[in-house]
Amino acid sequence: MKILGRGLLFIWMAAAAATTLQAQDSQVSGQIRDASQAAVAGAKVTLTRTETGDHREVTSGNEGYYSFPLLVPGH
C-alpha cells in the first residue's frame, strides 16, 4: 500500500509541476519622466487590455517608477 501511495503522490506532484510550467505571466514596468528628464512622482498610469477593455491603474513612486506585475500575455 505504501508503494501505491508514493506512486500516486509522484503522479500528483508531476501533474502539479506540469501545470505550473504551463502558467505564464508577464510584467510591464518603466519610469515616468518629464521633458527635462526629471522623474515624475505620483503619476497615474493605466494599462488596458484591448481584447477585453479591462484595465489596471498604478501610481508611480518617488522616483517615477511604476510596475504592472502578474499580467496575462496579450495585446
Our CA dihedral for 66, 59, 51, 73, rounded to 10 degrees, sits at 30
How many structural domains is the chain composed of?
1
Q: Which of 65, 73, 6 lies closest to 33 in space, CA to CA?
A: 65
Rg (alpha carbons) of the chain, rounded to whole number: 21
Does the pTM surpass 0.75? The reply is no
Strand partners, 71: 26
Structure confidence at residue 29 (pLDDT): 95
CB atoms inside a 10 Å sphere around CB 64:
17
Half-sphere exposure of 60 (CA within 13 A, CB side): 17
21 vs 66, higher pLDDT = 66
Each residue of 26-63: pLDDT tens digit? 899 999 999 999 999 999 999 999 889 999 999 999 99
At residue 1 the predicted structure's pLDDT band, cuts being 50, 70 and 90, is very low
- Domain span at 63: 2-71
